[in-house]
A and B are shown apart, each in its own frame.
Chain A
Amino acid sequence: DSGVTQTPKHLITATGQRVTLRCSPRSGDLSVYWYQQSLDQGLQFLIQYYNGEERAKGNILERFSAQQFPDLHSELNLSSLELGDSALYFCASSVGPEPMRLFFGSGTQLSVL
């Protein structure tokens, strides 16, 4: 158990809809990262928050947004969903701002039908 909690584990929705993925980092970790894993793809970095502030941005679509709350949990919002957004979304956390050793949650499997 990595200590990183992601909910829900599975999500099935329709095109055009909006969903929210939630992540609770390990106790004491201030950074939260979001990654997307599509079929046959590696882990694509989306965004990082450190202590409530956006710190680094990757290949995150404009339809996607995220935030980190004062209690350090994070939410990833995906809107106007398309079939191609179907993927496994991972959250990870680390103690400091630098992405050295990350601890990953077990992921949220999103299926857009």
Chain B
Amino acid sequence: DQQVKQNSPSLSVQEGRISILNCDYTNSMFDYFLWYKKYPAEGPTFLISISSIKDKNEDGRFTVFLNKSAKHLSLHIVPSQPGDSAVYFCASRSYNTDKLIFGTGTRLQVFP
């Protein structure tokens, strides 16, 4: 049972344009959401997070949007840079089980 879904396995965006990565979840007990970035041969690194009491959180070029009614999370990267090319994982924490559940990841490629 995949509680956190990233339906797009890959995304290709031109440098300077906006990258939008999407994530859907099914568990209404999720109260905290995170995005991680992973480069090859490295572990995932934290990017940005959002609590369920907010609908937007911004950090530089990265903005996360949360739509609780749709159980949908998105990460916007503006402007996209070649160094953003990586696999992006969304993750959600359930307040009743206190586990962090990850999606399957979306591979972003930013080309010149």
Contact = CB atoms under 8 A, between A and B. Distances in A.
Interface of A: 2, 4, 33, 35, 40-45, 48, 55-56, 58, 90, 92, 97-107
B36 to A, nearest CB: 8
A43 B44 contact: yes
Given A42-B104, A42-B105, A99-B93, A2 B45 contact: yes
Q: Chain A contact residues: over half helix, strand or loop, or mixed? A: loop
B104 A98 contact: no
B61 interface: no
B25 interface: no
Interface residues of B, number: 26
B46 A102 contact: yes
B43 A105 contact: yes
8 contacts: A33-B100, A40-B9, A41-B104, A45-B101, A92-B43, A97-B98, A101-B46, A105-B43
Interface of B: 2, 4, 6, 9, 32, 34, 36, 41-46, 49, 89, 91, 93, 97-105
B43 A56 contact: no
Contact of A42 (B41, B46, B102): B102
Most chain B C-beta atoms within 10 Å of own C-beta, residue among A42, A48, A90: A42
A106 B43 contact: yes
B102 A99 contact: no
Contacts of A97: 98
B94 to A, nearest CB: 10
Nearest to A56: B99
B46 A40 contact: no
A106 B41 CA distance: 7
B110 to A, nearest CB: 22
Given A4-B43, A56-B99, A58-B99, 6 more contacts: A42-B104, A43-B91, A98-B98, A99-B93, A102-B46, A106-B41
Contacts of A44: 102
A45 B43 contact: no
Contacts of B91: 43
Given A102-B46, A103-B46, A104-B43, A43 B89 contact: yes
